[in-house]
Amino acid sequence: MYKSLIRGQSVITDSSQTLNTMCVIIIKQKKQMMSREIAKTSARINPHGLGIVWLDTFEITYHESKDYGLLLTDRPFIAHFRYATVGAVNRENMHPFQCGVQKDEWLMMNGTIKGMGNAQMSDSKALAISLGQIPRQLWKKELEQYDSRFVTVNKRTRSFQMYNRDAYTYRDGIWYSKSNVLQDNLIAVYGTLKKGYSNYYSYLTSSKHLGRGETYDKYPLLIEGLPYMVDQRGSGHHVEVDIFKVSDKAFKEIDALEGHPNWYKRKQIPIRMKDGRVINAWLYFNPKKVDSSTQMHKSYVQNYTGYQRPKVVDTCQQINFNSYYDVDLATDDDCCDTQSKECMICFQPLQYDDTINQYHCGGCDDWYTLAEVYNF
């Protein structure tokens, strides 16, 4: 318990209050580039303004969150993406804030202070105004009583100071006041990539399985041979998913598997884990549309019995396709034809799914066996 010089009352910090608060402060001091996905995620979940202190000149600029591309630079900076919890959404409530009459001192904050600010003025701005009214040497003691993260910037001395540094996350030379923006490589899978299912063994065995959960919002899950989800939020069920943390390499391989972005498209959505936590993860959606008459499912269950992918070989003579099918296929020369295959109905390009040894047409949404495609 601390007697605040600003508020004139005892301050009891409440970690539950700020753990779920949005906003993020990003501090990049070196010339390395920050991740586009992290910048984009920061803007998406904090859409109410972007303030930047450029550490090479100590110029302060204000932008819309969608201008996150400004941060994809080798220039050093301190950036603040705002998610409005107190105060109006406008330019006046964008960080950083001048600290009262201290023209050279500016404040950024990630958190919420109960009882400070009002419907028009944010709690951060109210704090900055009050902070300028107490001696500078007391700022550290004052700010670190709150369960929030702060940065003060002095334009005259060209310096800055972090407060409650232990609450920050340091990754690849960059400080983040909230780690939720770093979840760019989390994926939620609902079909054959689920743990123990067929595609899991080909793509995710080296990835960390974080557990199971369900989509925070309802979505349609359809099962027509294979499962697919449609991006129509509010319809269907809270779909059961497995969550994985994947490497950049695995991410690219799964993008290719799903045909992103030309067929399936991935989108970051909130997922409720079994322990109640809500995280953001990427999920792949099929572009198909559904209506209320479509049968929708909550989960997909695969009766997997240990499928083994055939090894890639130089000639089709090394694979006896007739052992897989009871039909006569075309000649070996036809099987080895490297030309792209076309749908026999709409003549659109076909995509091969080696987990079931069939081709899929995105045009008419039909599936074809190897025999049908080769003989056509």
One-letter amino acid of 212: R
Q: Are strands 358-361 and 24-28 parallel, antiparallel or unpaired?
A: unpaired
CB 324 within 8 A of CB 304: no
Instruction: Kindly state the tokens that stand for 233.
Output: 């939020």
Sign of CA dihedral 228, 231, 232, 233: positive
For residues 134 and 142, what is the distance between their CA atoms, to the nearest angstrom? 10
For residues 216 and 218, what is the distance between their CA atoms, to the nearest angstrom? 7
CB 229 within 8 A of CB 265: no
258 part of the active site: yes
Beginning with the edge strand found earlier in the chain, give each strand of the sheet holding 97-99 in spatial order.
97-99, 102-110, 149-154, 159-163
For residues 278 and 218, what is the distance between their CA atoms, to the nearest angstrom? 15
CB 50 within 8 A of CB 80: yes
Query: Which residue of the set 105, 142, 240, 258 is catalytic?
Result: 258
Strand partners, 26: 79, 176
**Which sequence positions are flagged as catalytic?**
258
